[in-house]
Amino acid sequence: MDITIIGAGEVGFHLADILSREEHRVSVIDTDPVKSRRIMESLDVQVVLGDATDVGVLSQAGVSKCDLFVAVTDDDKANMLTCVLARQMGAGRIIMRLKDMERLHDYRYSYKQALGFDVVLSTEEYAAQEIANTVREHHALEVESFAGGRVQTRRYRIEEDSQLAGRTLAQLELPRGVLIAAAARGEKFTIPTGEYKLAMGEQVWVIGKQHALDAFEVACGAPPSHRRSVVLMGAGGVARAVTRQLLQVQGISIRVLERDPVRARAFAAEFPGDVMVLDGDATDLDLLHEERIGDANVFVATSGDDEQNMVACLLVHSLGTERTIALINKSSYRHIYDLLGIDRVISPRILCANRILRFARSGSVSAIAVLAEGKAEVVEIEVRLGAKRSGQKIKSLGLPDGVVVGALIRKDETSVPDGDSVVEDGDHVIVFAKPEKVDKVLEIFRSGDES
């Protein structure tokens, strides 16, 4: 597939990295020579240094023949204009990223007709959705949904008192319909077998139906959740979107800390009576003590300053807050946050890039999640084995090491399969795989396309 990406920032780089490894022909356009050089030296892609609102630059990148055009710069108006030009030049599917979605409210169809995009994505909305899902799920650090929400993957950290620590997967008595599909220990990422022994502090990705995962949490000793208190640092767009979603969940109280009094008053006026807005700095230890922020169940740092978010999370954690969540703009900071013990790190740009990857896949792959900064992928595939191979057991398909089938969906039935489970044409499978194995997985489950 020929793919053109406008913008060499965090979103563009992440997209170009994964898509080029999948052997797509990728071109990246950016006006910044430093960002362009970084991609040119790191990835096997074509880089065009120039303004993407210039038709000559777009022509140089081959936009007229591209199958997928993705505009993901930090400038909303530039993204909108490049989409218009790309559509006129004959580009295939067009994906546009916007930070401010307000302008599309009530006029989405008009903008779509005028600009020519097929899909519009918002970094703020995705970040807010991810935060809200994390708060709703109580104990999971991260949640992804597949098969129309019938299957979830949740990421957990193995705590000191967990019954999982020190035991192999084969020794665990997991609830029916639950599978531990991946594990991360420091920098080492594993698609584990039954002999794999879990360790304290390790992170695991668990797949199953929602009720089965809830039972898994209880079996692992998670305390029951009653009314919960959430504190948001910052009164920007992400905090607004998070608040709107959390106000729909019963049993959650929300407080917002904002050091700009004008922004604080505007936020309070938008949510009168529903949210307590405090005018103050979330890194002010006296204020945190005075407002008893340490008693909160969840603290979410949503400011645009990575360092401020980091400091605030460390302070409230030291005061006793159960869970901390931080937004980051620099993906290189993720390792630092993990080392510091911040429970959940969310990069709006990487979330947006991961959603775009779903559209870059062929029609038979309807969803994708990227785990542990690209160390593994989760793909949902429609099975097309062909008449001769349909009805085979999973263990007979020849799947490579580093791959596990986490769920099998047949019509309205969802199950966690084992090697003896049979797959048939029309089934959907959710597969965990290391990136270099994804092409082989797709080849196996879509082998009927070749007949």
The answer for residues whose C-beta is within 8 angstroms of residue 275's C-beta and 6 or more apart is 243, 247, 254, 255, 256, 267, 268
pLDDT tens for each residue of 417-449: 999 999 999 898 999 998 888 889 989 998 876
Global pTM reads 0.66
Residue 113's CB is within 10 A of a number of other CB atoms, namely 9
Q: Band of the pLDDT at 161, cuts 50, 70, 90?
A: confident
User: At 365, is the pLDDT very low, low, confident or very high (cuts 50, 70, 90)?
Assistant: low
Range in 59-63, 137-141, 197-201, 397-401 with the lowest mean pLDDT: 137-141
- What per-residue confidence (pLDDT) applies to 451? 52
Closest to 131 (Cα-Cα) out of 370, 313, 274, 326: 326
The arithmetic mean of pLDDT across residues 69-77, rounded, is 94
Tokens encoding 319: 């005061």
Q: Cα dihedral angle (83, 124, 367, 73), rounded to 10 degrees?
A: 30
Of the two residues 235 and 143, the one the predictor is more confident about is 235
The pLDDT, as a whole number, for residue 367 is: 57
- Angle of the 76-89 helix axis to the 108-115 helix axis, nearest 10: 50
Considering only 24-33, 212-221, 378-387, 407-416, which range has the smallest mean pLDDT?
Answer: 212-221
Please give the DSSP secondary-structure letter assigned to residue 43.
Answer: S
Helix/strand/coil for 273:
coil
Residue written as token pair 């922004």: 263
DSSP assignments along 294-327, one per residue: GG-SEEEE-SS-HHHHHHHHHHHHHTT-SEEEEE
In sequence order, what are the residues at sequence separation of 6 or more whose Cβ sits closer than 8 angstroms to the Cβ of residue 339?
Answer: none
% of the chain beyond a pLDDT of 90: 49
Chain-centroid distance of CA 57 in Å reads 31
pLDDT in tens, 108-120: 778 888 898 888 8
The residue-averaged pLDDT of 97-101 equals 82
- 13 near 74, Cβ under 8 Å? no
Q: Is residue 295 predicted with pLDDT exceeding 90?
A: yes
Could you tell me the two tokens for 351?
Answer: 């979330």
What does the alpha-carbon distance between residue 329 and residue 351 come to, in Å, rounded to a whole number? 11
**DSSP 8-state assignment for residue 341:** T
pLDDT in tens, 192-225: 989 999 998 888 999 998 888 888 887 676 665 5
Residue 348 has a pLDDT of 84
Rounded Cα distance between 33 and 39, Å, is 10
Q: Please report the pLDDT score of residue 429 as a whole number.
A: 93
How many separate helices (H) and strands (E) can be counted in the chain?
A: 14, 24
| Predicted local distance difference test score (pLDDT) of residue 316 | 95
Q: Please state whether beta strands 392-393 and 422-423 pair in parallel, antiparallel, or not at all (unpaired).
A: antiparallel
- Cβ atoms within 10 Å of 99's Cβ, excluding its own: 15
- Reading the block at residue 218, the tokens are 């209880």
Top pLDDT among 10 and 55 is at: 55
Q: How confident is the model at residue 22 (pLDDT cuts 50, 70, 90)?
A: confident
Q: Does 102 score more than 70 pLDDT?
A: yes
Cα separation of 250 and 11, whole Å?
A: 34
Task: For residues 326 and 134, give the distance between their C-alpha atoms in angstroms, rounded to a whole number.
Answer: 12
Give me the domains of the chain, ranges plus CATH numbers. Answer: 2-117 (3.40.50.720), 127-219 (3.30.70.1450), 228-350 (3.40.50.720), 357-450 (3.30.70.1450)
Q: Which residue has the higher pLDDT, 31 or 359?
A: 31
Residue 236 three-state SS: coil
Percentage of the chain beyond pLDDT 70 is 93
Task: Please determine, for residue 353, whether its predicted confidence score (pLDDT) is greater than 60.
Answer: yes
Mean pLDDT calculated for residue range 129-135? 82
Average model confidence (pLDDT) across the chain: 87
Region 319-347: mean pLDDT is 83
Q: Which of 86, 87, 97, 91 is nearest to 67 (CA)?
A: 91
Question: At 19, is the secondary structure helix, strand, or coil?
Answer: helix
| CA gap 44, 35 in Å, rounded | 15
Per the CB < 8 A criterion, the answer to whether 300 and 231 are in contact is: yes
Q: What is the spatial distance between Cα 286 and Cα 143, in angstroms, rounded to a whole number?
A: 34
Q: What is the mean pLDDT of residues 168-189?
A: 89
Residue 396's pLDDT is what?
A: 94
Nearest residue to 357 via CA among 345, 336, 371: 371
Q: Report which of residues 215 and 96 the model is more confident about.
A: 96
